[in-house]
Amino acid sequence: MVATTESSSAGRRRLRLPRQLLIGLATVVVMLAIWYMLTTSLGVIDPNRFPSPGQFFAALEQMMTTGYAGGNLIDHLLRSLVLVVSGFLVAVAVGVPLGFVMGYDKRAEAFFNPIFLLLRPIPPLAWIPLAIVWLGITDASKMLVIFVSAFVPSVINTFTGVRNVNRTLVEAAQVHGATRGRLIREVYVPDALPLIFTGLRLSLQAAWTTLVAAELVGAFLGLGRVLSTAYRDINTAMILLAMVVIAIAGALTTQALGIVERRLIKWRTGP
Amino acid sequence: MRRRRALWPYALASIVLFFGLWQGVVSAGLVSNFVLPSPVEVLDRLWTMANRPFAGFLIQEHLASSFLRFFYGFALAAIIGIPVGLAMGRFRLFEEFFTPLFESYRYIAPLAWVPFAALWFGTGIGGPIMVIFTGAFAPCVLNAYRGAQLVDRHLIEAAQTHGAGEFRIAREVLLPGALPSIVAGLRVSAGLGWQSLIGAELIVVSSGIGYVLVVGQQNLSPDIVMASMLVIGLTGLVIDYLLRFAEARVRAKWGAA
């Protein structure tokens, strides 16, 4: 008994956690030390190539107070965040039901799939110029490209989740006389939920990537705008700051989605 | 048992409706072709771009220069990423050191590297290669890592007792064992790399298929933009098809991931 619990991966992970944390911390400290040495005490790296920690924090301070590229950190972050989240929500609101119908009904799949096969190979970033021709450098054109990029993963994963739903459960429910509505609510949705959320995570990631690209191509405010302005000014500290903020914002939105997922799955499957 | 219905009429209806609506809306003059050119006009534009230079080169020359950049960046990502992933799967210390770095790197959108790539390696060929590299690197590492974890520990121990060195273990035990997973990762990598390349070319480059997109946009010519999108999509499809073929071959020979 003792031997089996010890060899199980859960038991090992619990034992390894402090060690992992320690080494993770060591990694961060070592990297910071190398960064400081190369840029500040040894001066091997030209500040026009990569900023020193001092310059990075000066950039952060400037960003928090006077601002840069047309706004302070909160302005840029909020603009990007609102665009990503709203574009993501619209894509999900259209994509998940469409994927669901395609997975549920073979006729719907036969009808929608050819259009998908035509449009899917085009990378979402290639839509940016077309969106600008159609809508100009506006929030609407950014919403369009975010929609295009976030739409596809939502549809495909929902489709796969519904198509691979547990047949035995479906038949059992049918035998007991479940109506179509109940069948969908109580069998299809809970069973497909994990894959749907996999799709949503991919969608969210794609939304961030596309937004950054769209803002680099043209924007008046937003994190991509900070990147492109800093690139033109050769302000490496600002470039690094924008990258860090983009990474943190992406990580936080993914975490938020994870919380929603855990809540929903607990609610769906019961205590 | 339900009766099997023929599904092809739905697929046919979909294609006919899609192109019919597109062509019909344009022919009927409901939208100007400065906004939406008809499918025929897009193909016609593509034919013209294949015969007369646009933005300095013929479209196939733009495509060739893009593909070369893609190939270098993708190859670099595979050559560096696969050994890193294998080492992460083989040595615990390396795994624990590298995981936090890798996790934080993964959250940075590949396109956010464009400014640094351009400052460090220029906007000619070096910068775009770095952007493709940053896009394609993560799946290479991740799948080699997962593949190496799947390799039977006993095989490694057996090789060790027979006196195999680390390099031989990597080449003759780890790599073949992880290969199915690695090839699956390469397919994901190629897709992300191709997409990152288009992004990089939109922003900093003055040749290549992504640059054609930008010039088309600046000329307000949706026909040029859509013709390039067609070329980009088809090229992506060909790359994916080649890697899918490789994946099938590897699976047949070394088993599923």
pLDDT at residue A16, rounded to an integer: 56
pLDDT in tens, A54-68: 999 999 999 998 888
Give the number of domains in chain A.
2
Task: List b or e across B190-225, with b for residues whose CB sees 16 or more CB atoms inside 10 angstroms.
Answer: bbbbbbbbbbbbbbbbebbbbbbbbbbbeeebbbbb
Cβ neighbours of B110 in A, within 8 Å: 209
- Shortest CB distance from B110 goes to which of A20, A118, A209? A209
Residues A254 and A224 in one domain: yes
Cβ neighbours of A106 in B, within 8 Å: 5, 7
- Specify the amino acid at residue A73: L
To the nearest whole angstrom, how far is the Cα of A260 from the nearest Cα of chain B? 20
Residues A86 and A202 in one domain: yes
Say yes or no to pLDDT of A13 above 70. Answer: no
Say yes or no to pLDDT of A271 above 60. Answer: no
Given an 8 Å threshold on Cβ–Cβ distance, is B8 in contact with A133?
Answer: no
| Entry field: residues in chain B | 257
- Reference A76, options A228, A251, A252, A254; nearest CA is A228
Residues A169 and A253 in one domain: yes
Given an 8 Å threshold on Cβ–Cβ distance, is B107 in contact with A247?
Answer: yes
Q: Is A48 exposed, middle or buried (0-12, 13-18, 19+ CB in 10 A)?
A: exposed
Q: Check the CA dihedral B137-B151-B95-B162 and report its sign.
A: negative
In this structure, the number of other CB atoms found within 10 A of the CB of residue A154 comes to 26
Domain residues for the domain of A7 are: 2-45
Q: How far is CA A243 from the centre of its chain?
A: 15
User: Do B69 and B208 meet the contact criterion of CB atoms below 8 Å apart?
Assistant: yes
Number of A–B residue contacts, CB under 8 Å: 156
Residues A30 and A113 in one domain: no
A69 contacts chain B (CB < 8 A) = no
Residues A72 and A137 in one domain: yes
Residues A12 and A79 in one domain: no
pLDDT in tens, B11-66: 888 889 999 898 888 888 888 777 889 898 899 999 999 998 888 889 999 999 99
pLDDT at residue A235, rounded to an integer: 92
Cβ neighbours of A239 in B, within 8 Å: 115-116, 119
Residues A206 and A229 in one domain: yes
CB interface of A with B, residues 79-118, below 8 Å: 106-107, 109-115, 118
CB interface of A with B, residues 164-203, below 8 Å: none
- Reference B200, options B146, B125, B143, B148; nearest CA is B125
d(CA B220, CA B14): 30
Residue of A27, A133, A141, A217 to mutate, testing the B interface (most B Cβ within 10 Å of its Cβ): A133
User: Do A124 and B195 meet the contact criterion of CB atoms below 8 Å apart?
Assistant: yes
Asked whether residue A112 is assigned to any structural domain, the reply reads yes
Asked whether residue A54 is assigned to any structural domain, the reply reads no
Residues A39 and A64 in one domain: no
Residue of A15, A118, A209 to mutate, testing the B interface (most B Cβ within 10 Å of its Cβ): A209
Given an 8 Å threshold on Cβ–Cβ distance, is B108 in contact with A247?
Answer: yes
pLDDT in tens, B80-116: 999 999 999 888 888 888 888 888 888 888 889 999 9
Given an 8 Å threshold on Cβ–Cβ distance, is B8 in contact with A27?
Answer: no
- Give chain B's mean pLDDT: 87
What mean pLDDT is predicted for residues A106-119?
88
Residues A38 and A145 in one domain: no
Q: Which helix (H) or strand (E) holds B38?
A: none
Residues A14 and A67 in one domain: no
pTM of the full structure: 0.85
Give A8's pLDDT tier (boundaries 50, 70, 90): very low
Start-end of H helices in B151-221? 153-161, 166-169, 175-203, 209-218
Residues A36 and A93 in one domain: no
| Ordered DSSP codes for chain A | -HHHHHHSHHHHHHHHHHHHHHHHHHHHHHHHHHHHIIIIIS--S-TTTS--HHHHHHHHHHHHTT-BTTB-HHHHHHHHHHHHHHHHHHHHHHHHHHHHHHHH-HHHHHHHHHHHHHHTTS-GGGHHHHHHHHH-SSHHHHHHHHHHHHHHHHHHHHHHHHHT--HHHHHHHHHTT--HHHHIIIIIHHHHHHHHHHHHHHHHHHHHHHHHHHHHHS-SSSHHHHHHHHHHTT-HHHHHHHHHHHHHHHHHHHHHHHHHHHHHHHHHH--
Which CATH code fits B35-254? 1.10.3720.10
d(CA B109, CA A7): 38
pLDDT in tens, B167-190: 888 888 888 888 888 998 999 899
**What ipTM is given for this predicted complex?**
0.85
Residues A159 and A184 in one domain: yes
pLDDT at residue B3, rounded to an integer: 54
- Shortest CB distance from A213 goes to which of B96, B111, B222? B111
